[in-house]
Each structure stands twice: as C-alpha cells, then as structure tokens.
A and B are shown apart, each in its own frame.
Chain A
Amino acid sequence: MTFQELQNRAKSEWEALRNSTYILIGTATCGRAAGALATLEALEKELSRRSIEVKTIQVGCMGLCYAEPLVTISKLDSLRIVYHNVTPELVPRLIEGYIMSDDPCLELALGILEGGEEESPYIPELLRFEHELRLVLRRCGYIDPKNINHYIANGGYNGLEKALKLQPEEIIEEVKGSGLRGRGGAGFPTGRKWESCRNAKGEPKYVVCNADEGDPGAFMDRVVLESDPQQVIEGMIIAGYAMSAKQGYVYVRAEYPLAIECLQTALNQAKEMGFLGDNILGSGFSFHIEIAKGAGAFVSGEETALMAAVEGKMSTPRPRPPYPAQAGLWGKPTLLNNVKTFANVPLIIQRGADWFSSIGTERSKGTAVFTLAGKINNAGLAEVPMGTTLRELIYDIGGGIPNDKAFKAVQIGGPSGGCLPASLLDTPIDYDSLREAGSMMGSGGMIVMDEDNCIVDAARFFLDFTTRESCGKCTMGRLGTLQMHETLEDIVAGNGKIEDLDLLLELAEDVKAGSLCGLGRTAPNPVLTTMRYFRDEYEAHILEKRCPALVCSELIAYYILPDKCDRGCEHCVLTCPTEAIKGEKGEIKVIDQEKCSKCGTCLEVCPPEYNAVVKLSPISLLPSKEKGEVK
C-alpha cells in the first residue's frame, strides 16, 4: 500500500470512531498507580451488563496525573467531557448520567475536551492550557498508543514521507536550522551532532535512542513511550535515513515495563505497515529498530556507558573524545539522542525549520517538557515554550503548593541539577538561564519543596543517590561523592562542624574537575546550589543543632502538649509501633524519648481537634523532665 492509502485507511478508522460515542481511559503507569485498571474493569462490566455498545479505548497520559484515573466520554453530537479521579464506584453514575441520558455529571468533570486533529487537544476550563504549547505531548492521552492508525490519522508519518523525498544532507540542514538542542539535558545542538555523525568515517552507522530515564523525578520519556511511541520511532527512522544507517536501538530502563511493552507493540505495527524494515514505503531505504532493555543502573544514562550496555557489557563510561558520533557502538559512528529529541524531529521535517525556530527564545528553541512533582497541587506533565518562567510553571500550571504552605525550593535536573529558591522563580526556562542560576535543564524533572522539606536533607539525599549509583570506575566519582555524602550525614545527624562547609565546597570543585563522566561532574550541583541559596539552613544544623524544617530525625523530638492532650483518647498509644507512649485512659500521654523511633505515627493519628503532638527542634526545647530521658 502507498502512504496515501495507509493514511486514507487510518483516517476512515479514526473518523468512524469520532462519529460514535466512545470512552477514553488513561491507563499509563500513573493512571494504574491511581487505580485505573479497576476503573476500566468497572466500565467494561457496567457497559456489558447494560448491553451498551460503546468502545472503551485505553490511552496514555494527558499529563494531568494528579487527576487520575481520567475518563473522557466523547458523546456523539455532544460534548467530550473529561472526568477526574474516577473510582469504580463513580462508573455507574457516569454511564447512567451521560451515556444513557443527557446529564453531563458536571460535578465530576474536570472540563470539556476541545481541539484535536489540527490543533492540540486542550481543556479550556484549566488555566494551564493557556500557558502550554503541546508538540511532543499533543497526542498523549488522546490516541490509543497501541493503534498505529490513530497516530497516522493524527499527522503521524507525514514527516517520514516527506523526509524520504529529501537528500540526507537536506534533512540535516533542516534540523540544524530548527535550532533544536538535545532534550536529554546537556542541550548540545542536535543538527551539529547529526552532521558530525553523517560525516564520520566508518560503516555501518547506528542510531540509538536514550530512554534510560534514570533521574528520579523525571518521567516524561516514560509518558511519551506509553502514550505516543510512534513519534519516537518516526524520528529515529528519519535519523536513520539521514545517517544512512540500517540499525537502530532504543535503550529503555528496566523500571519501565509498560513503556517497553507499548514500544514493542508500536515497533511491530510500524514494521507491518512498512514504515520499518526493508524498503521503507518503497524508497529503497531499509532500517530496523530493536529494544535493548536496561538492567537497573543509573550510570547507563551516560552516553558512553549506555552504549556499553547495548553491547551487553558492564555499563561504565569511558573518556570522550572520541564522541559516539565518531566511535560509538562497536566502535562505529553512532547517533545518540534522547526520546524527546527524536519525538521533535517529525514535526520539524513536516512543518519546517522556520516554524520550529519561531518558538522559544533566542538560544533555546521549541518547547520544554517538564514533570511536576513533590509539593505541588497539580502534579503531572507540562509542555511549554522555552522561556516560560518557573513561576508560571509552578503556580499557573502546577496550581501552587498544597495546604497553603510556603514555597521553599524547586529542584530541577535530578541529581545533576540544583535547588533554586523563591527569589529565582522568575527565571525563564531555557538551557542558559538555568545553568546561570546553578541548575540545569537536565531531563526536565522538577520537584517542588515546601517549608516542611529540609534542604540539607535533600542535598544528602542526592549525594546518597550518586554514591550508590557511582559505577566505581574513577576515583572522584567513587570516593569524592562518598566523602561529600558522609560529611552531609554528619551535618544532618547534628555532628557537623562549621569548617565542614568549606570542606564540602572544596571537595565539590574537585569532584567536578576530576570525574570521568557527567554523573560525577554534576554530582556536586545539589550541594553547591543549596549552599549558595540556603547556607543558613546548613548553619542551623551545625551551630544550633536545629533542623528548621523539622525533618532530620536526630535533631527533632516528638512531644505531646499536655494542655492539648484529650486524655480520653488512645490513638497514639495504640498505634505507636515501639510502645513508646505511656499514659492510662484518662491520663495525659507522654512519649518515652528513649523508646521513640521518630516515625511520626502519633502526629498523624492524633485527631485534628486536639492536634496535641508537635515536633521540636533542637531537642533541647523539650521540657526538662522529658529531656532527661533523651540519650
């Protein structure tokens, strides 16, 4: 079949769906964690019980993870309504209300789904869509990731069709002209990388997609692979054509089983349709893609380590140069890009470099996909033009901080990034501004911390992470990070000395300078930025033995306020896992500080009308009678 015929067939399938009543349910990993599979089961049961013939389609993630499970009912000749937090109990109400009669159940709705096909779908009721510009995410949560026809009907494979009529050099010029920079974090100009690999001597050449999304807190690559994997495949095929490569690999981390499953299905379908394999769309060009599954090593995200893993070897980095573009997989020229970088390519080819470079800022073109997590109301995913400020992203899109707590910091770029304070909220999101502030774009994971999060504990967390994940090859990566981690452990345990702060800074510079790969070179960033912006918190831990956020367990004590304790209730006594709380019924409860494991259960179970349990820091604030019992 020609592309035109494939497209016509896909479009008529899609039109038929749009001309019926159907239900979309998000069953990506985030949806599943919120219980979407139970909701799906309830939906199917309820529909069959009532003998209603309505198609239920499992889609990926719309980026509104906080509202999962999300169900969209698209009613023929009526509105498409998106419902949030749909538990199985709500299913009969929706089916009776909106499918069987004309009650749109607005009390359960998030909003109306508008757009689609020509423009990216959006929900006008949500302020976030005024800020968002969805290119990579435009089909996510809207099409069935396991049905290639949905992709084709919504603009898919137009880029490849066009690319195959161009010369490889023309494609590279287009990518160069677009100003696209690597979406994996470092921001290297994609076109230059392509050109360098194209010009490198050596056969065969390889194309590799880095889907080893190891940064904790970043999950956009997972979402793209689970929601719209074909765009990544299409981008890789175009890259393969431009490199005259025959073989591509996608390296996906082991922790993403569903992403691997969706990608495998997508690859099979692309092959069946003739987009992959021999003689693609009759062009004479052949290209194959295989999945290489990761095996759980953070360092594999580093490009040279990743290639070692694809070769089936231990995943450790090697010095660069030579860069992969010259000598990569099996020593051959290899083009290695991130999931989102490839996902941007089909649109650039289809709509042109000028269109793409009109989006974003002077030096950062296109959009940025960010994940929002931590202390934020609307946790999920967002895609905004480069240059959008952190404040817009966190407050207008993310809906701000829950429970009226104060914003403390936003951590960007995972263990390689930095924590930025409230004073930098107006920083525009682009490669250069973030680097200037001491952080980095990184993979795009953004974690918001509020007043209840301890900044020193966060720095310790990241160094703990990098120490564990160091592959052990270079000294600074292995021991420099370890020494930094131990110093931070001392500080959070109240054993820090004020000279430790200078030592940490000195060590940070050494680790940056002396590490072999990016993992080590950027590992000190979380410490450097937190020391730069939150030095007072470090000093409080060291000089006053006080954790201002009441987090570090060695520096806090739980205490029951005698005048607030109800006496009659025994919630804390009964739930304390170490039996540390004394007091008969009718007596004021007292915590035995020696037995207390500081798990916080008492604080959680104390009924809100009493709120008698508090955390104190430093421990010296405890009334003297109880203090005597502290070790």
Chain B
Amino acid sequence: MVTVELDKVDEIIDRYVGEEGILIQLLLDIQSELNWIPKEALERISERLKIPVSQIYRIASFYKAMSLTPRGRHIVNVCLGTACHVRGGPRIMDRAKQILGIDAGETTPDMKFTLERVNCLGCCALGPVVVVDRDYHGKITPAKVKEIIETCD
C-alpha cells in the first residue's frame, strides 16, 4: 500500500480517536475514500486504536458495504429486490454478467468494472433498476444495460 493511502487512513482515524462505537463508521469512511479496505488499513486501525485485528476483520468481512479486495472504477449495481425480481431483474443481471464477463461480486481484470447485486435500492416503482456509481437508471431492459455500460469511460 502506498504511503499516500496510509496517510489518508491516518487522517480518517484522527477524526474518531477517543470516541465510542466508531468502528463501522470509520471503516465506511475508508471504504469510500479508497474504494476498498486494504489489509494495511486494518492493521493501522488496530495499532492506533488498540483494537485486535481479528475484531476489525470480523466487521469488515461481515458488512456488504465493505470490500476487502480492490474494486473497479465503476460499480455496477443490479437491483434484485422483490419488485425488480418480478419485473425481470434476473435477466438484467444475466445480461450484465455476460457483457462484463464476470460474476456478481467480481471485478473485471482491467479494474474498470465491479458488478454487484443489491437487495433493494428503494426505487421499486421504477424497476428493474441499475445504479452505476451514483446514477440511477429505472425501467431497464437487457438492451439498455449494454448502452449504460458502454457509456462509462
């Protein structure tokens, strides 16, 4: 891990020193800053906040919003909540897998895309829904998936 990144981790830890019950929020901040949580970050938190690594790892591996492997520049979230499921969500997911050549939860070798399935994004009325990074796309068809993925640079 490069020093710059570790500096960022330190900065984030600084915000939480001395506070109670902060581990999840702290890990979420690192996740959003670095797009994943490297092993070195876990070690650094452990060292500075005197929390066993095992305890930090337990949390980081439990929550879906945290990733212990590097993620792609673009995160493609396909919603497979109930409403999207009954309106053809699984076919959207199949198409996305086929286009990207990866399974849900995986990242393309060029580190451009990570494909994720989510349980529900709360825009059920417009399902099936795909969210790329922070852009929401409603009423998606398999053909539109291709279009959306292709417009990512």
Contacts and interface: CB of A to CB of B under 8 A. Distances in A.
B100 interface: no
Contacts of A207: none
A19 interface: no
Interface in B87-140: 87, 91, 94-95, 98, 118-127, 129, 134, 136-139
Interface residues of B, number: 44
Contact of A449 (B22, B25, B86): B86
A465 B119 contact: yes
Contacts of A112: none
B124 A219 contact: yes
Interface in B44-84: 58-59, 62-66, 81-84
Contacts of B122: 29-30, 213, 218-219, 222, 255-256
B75 to A, nearest CB: 12
Interface in A15-47: 29-30, 32-35
Given A315-B62, A447-B83, A373 B124 contact: yes
A374 B28 contact: no
Contacts of B121: 29, 255
Contacts of A375: 86-87
Given A312-B21, A372-B125, A374-B82, A217 B120 contact: yes
Interface in A287-346: 292-298, 309-315, 330
Interface string A404-425: 0000000100100000000000
Contacts of B59: 312-314
B87 A297 contact: no
A458 B86 contact: yes
A298 B119 contact: yes
A447 B23 CA distance: 36
Given A216-B82, A461-B85, A599-B91, A379 B124 contact: yes
B24 interface: yes
Interface residues of A, number: 61
Interface string A266-279: 00000000000000
B27 interface: yes
B118 A255 contact: yes
A29 B118 CA distance: 16
B23 A33 contact: no
List of 4 A-B pairs having minimum Cβ-Cβ separation, nearest first: A216-B81, A65-B125, A296-B64, A295-B63
Interface of A: 29-30, 32-35, 65-66, 68, 213-219, 222, 254-257, 292-298, 309-315, 330, 371-375, 379-380, 411, 414, 445, 447, 449, 453, 458, 461-462, 465, 469, 471, 577, 597, 599-601, 604
30 contacts: A29-B121, A30-B126, A33-B123, A68-B125, A213-B122, A216-B85, A219-B122, A219-B125, A222-B122, A254-B65, A295-B28, A296-B64, A296-B66, A297-B62, A309-B24, A310-B21, A312-B59, A314-B58, A330-B20, A371-B124, A374-B82, A375-B86, A411-B82, A414-B82, A445-B124, A447-B83, A577-B95, A599-B142, A601-B142, A604-B141
